[in-house]
Every structure is written in structure tokens, then in C-alpha cells.
């Protein structure tokens, strides 16, 4: 249909909003609470436009265009109102931009600049001063920076169906809060961090471990190992100013070396290990009448979700630890033994696209290596250590690179160290939704049928639909599998199990949209288009790997030969498998 925008006649798609029509016509209407695919609650009033014949200004993000509509995005009235609405938001916003985590990457800051706001016109109206909520191991909330746009509430509710946070109070006392205003660490929050990813300001951020990591790096008595998750190599480049989805594995390794890590290892190696264990676990369950469907257990947000909301179904979870935790346990046992390093001196740092990994690393049961050494070395409880000491997000690693003055774009490409650095393509695709399933199928197929699959690419489980399913032909036996990303979709599959209608043998669940590459610790912005670019890079890396199947990774084979003996064996049981907690 035809509409007029700022006196220009333009074509607009039927059913589109004024905001979208303007965008198509090349006019960007500033907006704040509106976020494509996430939130459209029309609360901020920043995107207002003037429409001929309308009594008041209209919010362009929710108003649909009509034939012949005359829209003015730049009329004095619209511009004045837009500016004032931002100024009103600033009245109750803390003004410590210079020392804010999101300085330089804040939508409110950007908007204030774009709209030319150069004075503080309105006094603070809110009487309460809210304390920071630092109760969570993964996330920090600072309500003083919150502008009540509702994006975090929308992702927590609509995307994840967790509803850990919502609006409470009214008027000046309105706040985003948890039940009874308890700390985020004390309620049923999965730590997924999607709220931090969509927050336009610094009101929700990850709990930083940068200081702890720096301290460890400066300690000459420590051997600091780093492991990097698959999704970090397709995200970190963005945070260093490169195009979305840039694949920078080699530069990332070089950068980590320059930060001072003793060895730069790959979580993908541990992903391969996970697949060997998990593939064998699946076959054991199929052959011995174990609990099916079996569901993957790599995503710590998902683990906490099922523990809180479907505790009766914990038996469906694979007992395999996540790659992050398998890595930590192997590094402080196998690697320590192999290199003759005192495990108490080893500090394992992980770089993850994830905020929930911080929580996972601190789960009390994640101390397999300490338990392993306790008797052998006669360790006291005071000497207790976790398998993974610190977990950084992709964003925190970017901050460390910047602080250290590393010119990321000029770094050479370097290789991971051995023996925990080799990985197959299967380990790489762990970073994408469908990746763990595909990696598992590449191995399980061969384990089950005794011969390699015709092709290693299982295209049926790739894609971006919320739930995907496929029939896998294992030498005549048809196995039904499903892949879900976001916790809302995971819940749908769990409801099927609850109702006894689940047709599946094996299910992969990832907490975040798109899988880890869209994780809560990834660079901001992250949206559907950016996620697709990151996914393309991940599958590209897989394609170019000489080894595509986890059980063919030579370092994995050595690990079993020299240390673990066999999949699901005694050592695996203690170091690589775990149990879950009914949280209700």
C-alpha cells in the first residue's frame, strides 16, 4: 500500500507497523523498548511519530500503517516529545556512564547522544535508592540503571518461560524484580543471561571474573590453563570490531597466549569427550532398557530449568557433565599427572558464551579432580578446589583483550596447545543448536551399526526452528530424535514426556536461541541475523576439519588409552559423570 512519510510517497507492506515502514523507506525512527522478536510493549515512548488526523502522537512500533497514512517522523512535535521521553528516563537513571559495564555499548547512552540531549533537565523523582543485587553467581542486577523497558521480562517469560523476573509495584515504585524482591540467586532463575543480552543499559550484566583471572595470571605459583568454548571463536571477533560472525579461532588462541595463559586448550576437545561418553550412554540405555528419551546435559541453564520445573524427569538427563566440566576434571587429573604438575597449582579458566557456566563451575559436586586427589595426596578440606576455577564470558574476554592493549586484528593465527587442544568438527558444532545431536549421531551411528555413516552431515537436525525432529536409520532400526532450543521449547518436549506421548529416543536441548552461539555471554547485540552468521561460521569450521567425528580425535583416543581406559568406565564415572538436584 501507499503511505506518505515526511512528504515522500513510499510503498509499505500491508500489516507492517509504521516503524517497519519507515525502516523500509530508509528512515530510522529511534526506539528503545522495542526489540525485534523480543519485546514490543510500547512503554518507552521514544518511537513516537505524528500522523495526520491523529489527535495524539502515535507509537510507531505498535501502530499499523493504513492506506494513504501521512506520517511525520521529523515534525517538531514528534521530535520534541521523543527527546523529552528520553530526558524523563534519564531523570531516574544513575549517571555513572564512565564507569559502567556498558559504557560505549549502551542504547540509552547512544540515544541520548543521537537526540542531542546535552543537559539534565529533570530532577530525580524516585525516592528509593535500590541496592545492586549480587546474590547470583552469574548475573548482577542494578535497578538504578533500569529504565523499565521490559525487554528482560519479555525474554524471561516469552522466550524461556522461566518468569524469574517481572514488574512489581506501581508508579514511581515500579521495578523489575523477583518474587518478594529476593536476590536473583535465591529464586528459580536459570542464569541463562538472555536478560543481560537484551538489556539496553547496564542494569543486568554478568558477574565479572576478570579480576580473579588477572590475579591468577600474575601469580607465579600458578599454572593457568584456559579452555575456549566453540561459540566464542565466532563471537569474540565481533566484540573486537570485526563483522558479525567472524571466525577467528587462530587469532583468539594467539590473543589468549598474549594474555599470559600457560596453555591454551579447547573446550571442543572436551566436547569430543562428551560425545564419546554420551554416545555410549545412549547405546547402553537403548540396549539395556534404560530411561528414554535421553536428553543432553551440556547446557547449564537447561539443567537448572529441569531441576526447578520438571524435577521428576531428571532421570531423562544424560549423566554426562558438560564439556566445560569434563575439561576441568581431565585437566586437573590426566594433564596434571602427564605433566607432573601439582593439581593444586593448576587454575582452569574457561571462556564461555554463557553466564550460566559461572554457576555451573560452582556447583558443589563439580570437584571430581579434588576427590580424585584427596586420598592420593592426603589433601585437607582447606585445600579444596573446583574443577573449573573461573568462567569468563565472551564479553569479558574482549574486555581483557582491550585492557591489555592487544590489537586483535593484527594477531597472527596460532594453534591450540596439546594434549587437550585437538578437536573434531563434531566438537566445533556443539556451539550451535542441533550440533550436539549431530555430533552424537556421527559417533552413535558408528557405535551402533559398526560402520561409518554414509555422510557425516545430518542436515535434518540443523536449522533455526524452535523444535526440529528427525528419523535416523541405524541399519534398519529407526530412531526418532528431537532438537529444541530456548527453554520454552524444551518445556514442550518435557510436557510430552510427562503426558507419555514423547516419541523420541534422544533429545538435544540448548537453553539459548540458536544454541550457545546466541548465549547470554555473547557480544551485544545478538539477534536472529547475527546468530545465523555465527552458525554459518561454526559449520564452516566443521567442514574444514580433517577429523569430523569425535571418536576419531587422536587426543581423545590417547586420553582413553593412557588414563580413562574405557567410556563409562570407573574413572569416567567419577570424573566425567554427575548427578542432579531436585529443586522444585
Active site residues: 278, 281, 298, 318, 357, 360, 365, 516
User: Of 330, 400, 322, 401, nearest to 361 (Cα)?
Assistant: 322
Positions in 185-204 near other proteins (CB under 8 A):
187-188
Which listed range, 170-178, 411-419, 530-538, 566-574, lies at the site for other proteins (CB under 8 A)? 170-178
Q: How far is the CB of 188 from other proteins (least distance, A)?
A: 8
**Which residue, 186 or 528, has its beta carbon nearer to other proteins?**
186
Q: For the CB of residue 510, give the shortest distance to other proteins in the complex, in Å.
A: 23
Contact characters 308-347, other proteins, x per CB under 8 A? ----------------------------------------
Bridge partners of residue 205, in order along the sequence: 140
Binder of other proteins out of 177, 318, 355, 522 (CB under 8 A): 177
Q: Which is nearer to other proteins, 26 or 171 (CB)?
A: 171
Nearest approach in angstroms of CB 539 to other proteins is: 37
Which segments of 167-266 does DSSP mark as H helices, in order? 194-198, 210-218, 236-239, 249-259
Size of the site for other proteins (CB under 8 A): 18
3-state class (DSSP) for residue 285: helix
Q: Write the CB contacts of 426 (distance below 8 Å, at least 6 apart in sequence).
A: 271, 272, 275, 438, 439, 442, 443, 456, 542, 548, 549, 550
Interacting span for other proteins (CB under 8 A) from 166-174, 332-340, 464-472, 536-544: 166-174
Stretch that binds other proteins, among 39-47, 168-176, 467-475, 570-578 (CB under 8 A): 168-176
- Copy the grid coordinates of residue 262: 600457560
| Residue 555 grid coordinates | 587426543
Min separation Cβ 249 and other proteins, Å = 41
Q: What minimum distance in Å lies between the beta carbon of 166 and other proteins?
A: 4
175-177 and 166-168 beta bridge pairing: antiparallel
The nearest distance, CB 308 to other proteins, in angstroms, is 11
**For other proteins, the closer CB: 163 or 480:** 163
Q: Which is nearer to other proteins, 178 or 393 (CB)?
A: 178
11, 28, 95, 169: residue in contact with other proteins (rule CB under 8 A): 169
Q: Pick between residue 38 and residue 164 the one whose CB is nearest to other proteins.
A: 164
Applying CB under 8 A, does 39 fall inside the site for other proteins? no
User: Which of residues 168 and 460 has its CB atom nearest to other proteins in the complex?
Assistant: 168
Q: Which of 79, 165, 388, 509 binds other proteins (CB under 8 A)?
A: 165
Specify the residue, 199 or 254, whose C-beta has the smaller distance to other proteins. Answer: 199
CB of 129 to other proteins, least distance (A): 10
* Contacting residue, 26, 55, 99, 180, with other proteins by CB under 8 A: 180
Q: How far is the CB of 519 from other proteins (least distance, A)?
A: 23
Measured between alpha carbons, how far is 409 from 48 in angstroms, rounded to an integer? 40
The nearer residue to other proteins, 127 or 451, going by C-beta atoms, is 127
- Which residues 99-128 are close enough to bind other proteins by CB under 8 A? 127-128
3-state DSSP assignment of residue 527: coil
Among 15, 98, 118, 170, binds other proteins (CB under 8 A): 170
Binding segment toward other proteins, per CB under 8 A, in 67-75, 110-118, 175-183, 251-259: 175-183
CB of 243 to other proteins, least distance (A): 38
Cross-strand partners of 482: 469, 507
Q: CA nearest 244: which of 531, 541, 37?
A: 531
User: What is the 3-class SS of 460-505, one letter each residue?
Assistant: HHCCCCCEEEEEEEECCEEEEEEEEECHHHHHHHHHHHHHCCCCCC
Nearer of residues 4 and 126 to other proteins, judged by Cβ: 126
163 vs 199, 346, 416, 484, CA distance in Å?
A: 16, 38, 40, 19
Q: How far apart are CA 256 and CA 273, in angstroms?
A: 23
Q: Give the span between the Cα atoms of 227 and 45, in whole angstroms.
A: 44
**Residues 70, 134, 166, 446: which binds other proteins (CB under 8 A)?**
166
Per CB under 8 A, which region of 176-184, 277-285, 414-422, 477-485 contacts other proteins? 176-184
Least Cα distance to 201 among 282, 97, 117, 293 occurs for 97
Q: By CB under 8 A, which span of 20-28, 180-188, 431-439, 503-511 interacts with other proteins?
A: 180-188
Q: In 67-138, at which residue ranges do the beta strands (DSSP E only) sit?
A: 70-72
Least Å distance, CB 181 to other proteins, is: 8
- Report the alpha-carbon distance of residue 522 to residue 243 in Å, rounded: 14
Name residues contacting other proteins, limited to 125-164 (CB under 8 A): 127-128, 157, 163-164
> Is residue 19 within 8 Å of 82, Cβ to Cβ?
no
- By the 10 Å C-beta count (0-12 exposed, 13-18 middle, 19+ buried), 142 is classed as buried
Note whether 55 binds other proteins by CB under 8 A.
no
User: With respect to other proteins, which residue has the nearer C-beta, 350 or 486?
Assistant: 486
Q: Which long-range contacts (CB under 8 A, 24 or more apart) does 58-64 make?
A: 58/18, 60/17, 60/18, 60/19, 60/22, 60/29, 60/31, 61/17, 61/18, 61/19, 61/31, 61/33, 61/34, 62/17, 63/17, 63/18, 64/15, 64/16, 64/17, 64/18
Measured from the CB atom, the residue of 309 and 390 that comes closer to other proteins is 309
Cβ–Cβ < 8 Å for 320, 297: yes
C-alpha cell at 184: 536473583
- How many angstroms separate the CA atoms of 459 and 457, rounded? 6
Count how many residues are written for the chain. Answer: 584
Q: Does 167 bind other proteins (CB under 8 A)?
A: yes
Task: Tell me the sheet residues that pair with 224.
Answer: 347
Rg of the chain over all Cα atoms, to the nearest angstrom: 25
**Binder among 179, 503, 540, 554 for other proteins (CB under 8 A):** 179
Backbone φ, ψ for residue 8 (5° rounding): -105, 135
168 near other proteins, rule: CB under 8 A: yes
Rounded least distance, CB 160 to other proteins, Å: 12
Binding-site ranges for other proteins (CB under 8 A) = 127-128, 157, 163-170, 173, 177-180, 187-188
Amino acid at each position: 500500500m501507499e503511505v506518505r512519510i515526511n512528504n515522500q510517497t513510499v510503498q509499505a507492506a500491508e500489516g507492517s507497523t509504521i516503524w517497519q515502514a519507515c525502516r523500509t523507506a530508509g528512515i530510522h525512527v529511534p526506539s528503545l523498548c522495542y526489540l525485534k522478536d523480543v519485546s514490543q510493549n510500547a512503554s518507552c515512548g521514544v518511537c513516537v511519530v505524528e500522523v495526520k488526523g491523529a489527535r495524539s502522537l502515535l507509537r510507531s512500533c505498535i501502530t499499523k500503517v493504513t492506506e494513504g497514512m501521512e506520517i511525520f517522523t521529523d515534525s517538531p512535535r514528534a521530535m520534541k516529545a521523543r527527546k523529552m521521553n528520553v530526558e524523563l528516563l534519564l531523570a531516574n537513571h544513575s549517571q555513572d556512564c564512565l564507569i559502567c559495564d556498558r559504557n560505549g555499548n549502551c542504547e540509552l547512552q547512544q540515544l541520548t547522544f543521537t537526540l542531542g540531549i546535552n543537559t539534565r533537565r529533570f530532577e530525580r523523582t524516585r525516592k528509593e535508592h535500590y541496592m545492586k543485587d549480587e546474590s547470583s553467581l552469574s548475573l548482577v542486577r542494578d535497578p538504578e540503571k533500569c529504565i523499565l523497558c521490559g525487554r528482560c521480562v519479555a525474554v524471561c517469560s516469552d522466550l524461556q518461560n522461566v518468569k524469574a523476573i517481572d514488574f512489581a509495584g506501581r508508579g514511581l515504585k515500579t521495578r523489575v524484580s523477583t518474587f518478594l524482591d529476593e536476590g536473583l540467586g535465591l529464586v528459580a532463575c536459570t542464569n541463562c543471561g538472555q536478560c543481560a543480552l537484551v538489556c539496553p543499559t547496564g542494569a543486568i550484566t554478568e558477574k565479572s571474573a576478570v579480576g580473579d583471572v588477572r590475579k591468577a595470571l600474575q601469580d607465579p605459583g600458578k599454572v593457568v590453563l584456559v579452555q575456549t568454548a566453540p561459540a566464542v571463536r565466532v563471537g569474540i571477533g565481533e566484540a573486537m570490531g570485526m563483522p558479525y560472525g567472524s571466525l577467528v579461532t587462530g587469532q583468539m588462541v594467539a590473543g589468549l597466549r598474549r594474555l599470559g595463559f600457560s596453555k591454551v586448550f579447547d573446550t571442543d576437545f572436551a566436547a569430543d569427550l562428551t560425545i564419546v561418553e554420551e554416545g555410549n550412554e545412549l547405546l547402553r540405555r537403548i540396549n539395556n532398557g534404560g530411561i528414554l528419551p535421553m536428553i543432553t546435559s551440556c547446557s547449564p541453564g537447561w539443567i537448572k530449568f529441569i531441576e526447578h520445573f520438571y524435577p521428576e524427569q531428571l532421570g531423562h538427563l544424560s549423566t554426562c557433565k558438560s564439556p566445560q566440566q569434563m575439561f576441568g576434571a581431565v585437566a586437573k587429573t590426566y594433564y596434571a599427572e602427564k605433566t607432573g604438575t601439582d593439581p593444586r597449582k593448576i587454575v582452569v579458566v574457561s571462556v564461555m558464551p554463557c553466564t550460566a557456566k559461572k554457576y555451573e563451575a560452582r556447583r558443589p559436586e563439580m570437584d571430581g579432580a579434588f576427590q580424585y586427589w584427596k586420598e592420593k595426596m592426603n589433601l585437607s578440606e582447606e585445600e579444596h578446589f573446583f574443577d573449573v576455577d573461573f568462567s569468563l564470558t565472551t564479553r569479558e574476554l574482549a574486555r581483557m583483550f582491550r585492557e591489555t592493549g592487544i590489537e586483535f586484528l593484527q594477531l597472527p593465527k596460532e594453534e591450540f596447545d596439546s594434549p587437550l587442544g585437538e578437536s573434531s568438527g563434531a566438537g566445533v558444532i556443539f556451539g550451535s543448536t542441533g550440533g550436539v545431536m549431530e555430533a552424537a549421531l556421527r559417533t552413535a551411528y558408528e557405535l551402533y551399526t559398526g560402520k561409518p555413516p554414509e555422510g557425516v552431515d545430518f542436515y535434518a537436525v540443523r536449522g533455526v526452528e524452535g523444535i526440529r525432529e528427525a528419523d535416523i536409520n541405524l541399519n534398519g532400526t529407526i530412531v526418532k530424535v528431537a532438537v529444541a532450543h530456548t527453554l520454552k521449547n524444551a518445556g514442550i518436549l518435557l510436557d510430552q514426556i510427562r503426558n507419555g506421548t514423547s516419541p523420541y529416543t534422544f533429545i538435544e536441548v540448548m537453553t539459548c536461541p540458536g544454541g550457545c552461539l546466541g548465549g547470554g555471554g555473547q557480544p551485544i547485540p545478538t539477534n536472529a541475523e547475527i546468530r545465523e552468521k555465527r552458525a554459518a561460521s561454526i559449520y564452516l569450521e566443521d567442514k574444514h576439519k580433517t577429523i569430523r567425528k569425535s571418536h576419531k580425535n587422536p587426543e581423545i583416543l590417547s586420553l582413553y588409552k593412557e588414563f580413562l581406559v574405557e567410556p563409562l568406565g570407573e574413572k569416567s564415572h567419577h570424573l566425567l559423570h554427575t548427578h542432579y538436584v531436585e529443586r522444585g
